[in-house]
Amino acid sequence: MRCHEVDYEIFGDDMQIVEVELDPSEVVIAEAGAMNYMEDGIAFETKMGDGSKPAGGMLDSILNAGKRVLTGESIFMTHFSNSGSGKRRVAFAAPYPGKIIPIDMAEMGEELICQKDAFLCAAFGTSVDIAFNRKLGAGFFGGEGFILQRLRGDGLAFVHVGGTVIKRELKNETLRVDTGCIAAFTPGIDYDIERAGNLKSMVFGGEGMFLATLKGTGTVYLQSLPFSRLANRVMRAASVGGSKGEGSVLGGLGDIFGDR
């Protein structure tokens, strides 16, 4: 199935919104709860699946729902369509500070593997599936676990990453990355883990016990602030105690974001 062709505009800096423009009868799919606003003439329907394949039986529906559960997402996706006669817009918001990356799937070889909560929205016809990490070491210690998301299609897809995004093109090269900082990569990249130096470096180096390694030829997207790291800092700040007038949580957030 060929994907619908959609136009878009991204607003904001660290808390971004992508506004997608739909021609009559065009459709965009999105994670449940991602919609921020929509113009009159946009209709939406919650469905079980991305709609990239013809509807199957009950067994197929249950299987697809199980895959969605494994990635930590809702079993439903929302389909937004332009039921009017002119161009209409619908916008989707990022769930936490970071960047929304527009991906032309045709330029990526029609496939992209990304962290399990990266997908935000995409042109109708894009397949959103799961990709199992077959290497036990990378699954346990690679920061992303065994379950990744696989996007397939030839249209536009939008993924969200934490903090600042860096795009790297590898040409039969190796890149070592802090675990959890990998946002997405093309299938030509081999993803694995290795020890972070000697025992002393692993225990006291502050970089964790393992590093992720990316080898091969293809495109890699890196993120500077994985959501897990942000959540750990917030939880640590919340447990410090009420040393500031605003209370422990707000005081800790002030420490994180510079409001001292």
Task: Give the per-residue pLDDT at 21.
Answer: 96
Looking at per-residue confidence, does 13 or 219 come out higher?
A: 219
Average pLDDT in the chain: 79
Contact 127, 50 (CB under 8 A): yes
Question: How far is 183 from 117, CA to CA, in rounded Å?
Answer: 10
Three-class DSSP category at 248: helix
Does a structural domain hold residue 204?
no
Q: DSSP assignment, residue 199?
A: H
**Location of structure tokens 């500070």:** 97
pLDDT of 237 above 50: yes
Q: How far apart are CA 39 and CA 25, in angstroms?
A: 14
Q: Report pLDDT for 148.
A: 83
User: CA torsion angle for 225, 145, 73, 15 (degrees, to 10)?
Assistant: 10
Tally of structural domains, the chain: 2
Distance, in Å, from the CA atom of 110 to the CA atom of 1, rounded to the nearest integer, reads 12
134-164: b (≥16 Cβ within 10 Å) or e = eeeebbebbbbbbbbbbbbbbbbbbbbbbbe
| pTM, two decimal places | 0.78
**Lookup: tokens for 66:** 């199980």
In a domain, 206, yes or no: no
In tens, the pLDDT along 73-115 reads 567 889 999 998 899 999 999 888 899 999 999 999 999 999 8
Within a domain: 170: no
Lowest mean pLDDT segment, chosen from 28-32, 87-91, 198-202, 207-211: 198-202
| Residues spanned by the domain of 252 | 233-257
Nearest to 13, CA basis, from 92, 118, 99, 121: 99
Adjacent-strand bridge partners of 100: 160
Asked which of 161, 193, 219 is the last residue of a domain, the reply is 161
How far apart CA 78 and CA 5 sit, in angstroms, is: 18
Amino acid at 193: I
**pLDDT over threshold 60, residue 260:** no
113 belongs to a structural domain = yes
Residue 241 — left, alpha, or beta (φ > 0 → left; ψ -120 to 50 → alpha)? Answer: left
Query: Are residues 131 and 248 part of one domain?
Result: no
- The H or E element spanning position 208 is none
Percent of the chain clearing pLDDT 90 (strictly above): 42
- In this predicted structure, what is the pLDDT of residue 191? 85
- Cα gap 90→28, rounded to integer Å: 9
pLDDT at residue 232, rounded to an integer: 77
Domain boundary residue among 161, 183, 216?
161
| pLDDT of amino acid 96 | 86
What mean pLDDT comes out for the span 22-47?
94
In contact, 155 and 213? CB cutoff 8 Å? no
Is 111 a domain residue? yes
Has residue 74 been placed in a domain?
yes
What is the mean pLDDT of the segment spanning 244-248?
48
Tell me, yes or no, whether 137 and 252 share the same domain: no
**More confident call, 67 vs 3:** 3
CATH of the domain at 149: 3.60.160.10
The residue that leads in pLDDT, 170 or 237, is: 170
- Judge if 19 and 122 occupy the same domain: yes
Q: What is the DSSP-derived secondary structure letter of residue 32?
A: T
User: Which band of pLDDT confidence, cut at 50, 70 and 90, is reported for residue 205?
Assistant: very low
Residue where one domain finishes, among candidates 145, 161, 177: 161
